[in-house]
Amino acid sequence: MTEERWIVRLPRAAEPPYRVFVNGVPQVEGVDYELRPGALAFMKSLETEGRLGFWRWTLMFFAIAGTYRRHDSVDVQYTVGGKRQVATGLAITAPESAGSER
C-alpha cells in the first residue's frame, strides 16, 4: 500500500538547490518531504483554510468572530538561471483519501 502524500507543485523553471519551509519552519528532504519531478511530496498532512463564506467574512468584518482554522503555508527558495528566487504560499493538493485540492 502506498503512503498518502500531500503534493506541492514547484514553479516551472525551479532548479535545485531547494530550501523548503512550512509555516516558516525549515523542512528536511527525506525526513519531511520527498522530491519528485516538478513537485514536493510531504509525509505529514498539510491544510489550507480555503475560502471564507459570506457569513464568516461578515462576522470577521464586524469583529464579531474570527477564524481559527488550520492554515499551512509552503514556501520554497529555488534557483532560475543561477539566480535565487522565492515562491510563497504554494498550492497544496491533498491525497484523494483526504479530499481534493486545498
Q: Where are the alpha helices (DSSP H) in 3-101?
A: 54-61
Q: Is 6-94 a CATH 2.60.40 domain?
A: yes
In angstroms, the CA 35 to CA 38 distance is 8
pLDDT bucket at 101, cuts 50 / 70 / 90: very low
Alpha-carbon distance values, 94 to 47, 55, 78, 101, 102 (Å): 8, 26, 23, 6, 7
Mean pLDDT of 62-72: 67
Q: Strands 6-9 and 92-93, how do they pair?
A: antiparallel
Report pLDDT for 4.
87
Q: Where are the domains of the chain?
A: 6-94
Read off the pTM: 0.74
Alpha carbon distance 102, 32 (integer Å): 19
